[in-house]
Amino acid sequence: MPSTSVNVVAGTVGNGSCGTSATNFNGCIIEVADAKEADRADSSIDFVAPAVTAIPTPVAIHVTASGVPGKTVAAAITGRNFTSVARITGAAGSTISVTGVSKSVVRVKIKESAAAKKGTGTLVIRFKDGKSARVKYSVK
C-alpha cells in the first residue's frame, strides 16, 4: 500500500471509547484498507493532551467602606485574580449586590439591616468557577 497520512481533526475515533481518558488512550489504532481488503495496514494513534493553565486562586485583601445599620453603602473589594462573581454573602441581615468586577476590584453595594450589630463581619465571595475568597469588613 502506498504511503498515506491521515489527520483526524474532530469527531469520534472508532467506537468513541478510544482516547477519551488516560486509561484507554494507548489502545487506539487506525486501520486502512482498499475496498477489497486485499491491501491493508494499521498504525497506533498517539494522543497529545492540551496544555492546561492553572487559574490562580482569588485573594480578597480589603473593603474600602464600612457597612452602616439601616443603610446601603457603595464599596470596593480589592484583591487579585478575581473572575466572574456568582454571589457574595455577608453577615446575617445584610444584602450584597455586585455592580462591577475586574481582575483586582469587585464593586459592591452593601445593605445592612437596621438591626445589624456594629463590629466586624466577613464577606464571602463565590466565583462562577467554584473558587471563593473571604475578607473582613466593619459595620459602624
Q: Residues 87-114: what's their mean pLDDT?
A: 94
Q: What is the pLDDT of residue 10?
A: 47
Q: What is the pLDDT of residue 92?
A: 87
pTM: 0.64
Residue 17 pLDDT > 70, yes or no? no
86 and 42 within one domain:
no
| CATH (domain of 109) | 2.60.40.10
Tens of pLDDT, residue by residue over 60-75, are 999 999 999 999 999 9
126 and 85 within one domain:
yes
74 and 124 within one domain:
yes
Tell me the residue range of the domain where 23 lies.
Answer: 1-52
Q: What is the pLDDT of residue 55?
A: 81
Residue 136 pLDDT > 90, yes or no? yes
64 and 129 within one domain:
yes
71 and 28 within one domain:
no
| DSSP code string of the chain | ---------SS--TTTTSSSSTTTSTT-EEEEE-TTSSSEEEEE----PPP-PPPPPPEEEEESS-B-TT-EEEEEEEEES---EEEEE-STT-EEEEEEE-SSEEEEEEE--TTPPSEEEEEEEEETTS-EEEEEEEE-
Tens of pLDDT, residue by residue over 121-135, are 999 999 999 999 999
68 and 7 within one domain:
no
80 and 35 within one domain:
no
90 and 29 within one domain:
no
41 and 75 within one domain:
no
82 and 135 within one domain:
yes
Query: Residue 54's pLDDT band (boundaries 50, 70, 90)?
Result: confident
Q: What is the pLDDT of residue 63?
A: 97
